[in-house]
Amino acid sequence: MSTSETGVRARTRQAIVAAAIDVLAADGGASLADVASAAGVSRTTVHRYFPERSDLLAAVVEEAMARVETATERARLAEGPAPAALERACREYFELGSALTLLFGGSIEIADADWERCATSPEDDIGAVVARGHADGTIDPELTGAWVENLVWALLYSAWSHQREHDVPRQTSLDLCLRSLRKAIAA
């Protein structure tokens, strides 16, 4: 197999996985034909890359987890003032709407080992960011790390839903998410 054939195969595989993330996030029971259509390939092509639905689902989970890991690294949670770090996290995670909806939506089963692979280092944990904000007086001391983490996910979900259900621009939804976060965590 030539390098160009390998590149085409990798791009086709990636297109199928990306389409599957979007399609399955919208409808957890979507068929492989739905995925194929969204990827712009035939169902036979999907089966050539992923002989069983479980093979595709494993690739989807792997890709979604990789996206979360990359977004967490880009958010640089250990740097700067705590509120700014939480805003960076929201900005990065906002771009993962379909992947996070799929991971947290319960339509596919995710093994504990997959969640552990995605676990952040202690300094990149939202709880550590909140503790830093408590120490420097920038985050309400009554709000626990667990509460703020749940708040971040709830605000992101609200932003994705608002964008989709009310046909508002992505940036408008993200701006509302960040404004709500600032107000909610303010000391």
Structural contact between residues 85 and 79, judged by C-beta atoms closer than 8 angstroms: yes
Structural contact between residues 159 and 177, judged by C-beta atoms closer than 8 angstroms: yes
Q: Is the pTM of this model over 0.95?
A: no
CATH architecture of residue range(s) 60-185 = Orthogonal Bundle (1.10)
Distance CA 114, CA 134 (A): 31
Domain boundary assignment for the chain: 1-51, 60-185
- Closest among 104, 113, 106 to 149, alpha carbons compared: 104
Hey, which CATH number is domain 1-51, 1.10.357, 1.10.3470, 1.10.10, 3.40.50? 1.10.10
Give pLDDT tens digits for 10-26. 999 999 999 999 999 98
Q: Is the pLDDT of residue 4 over 70?
A: no
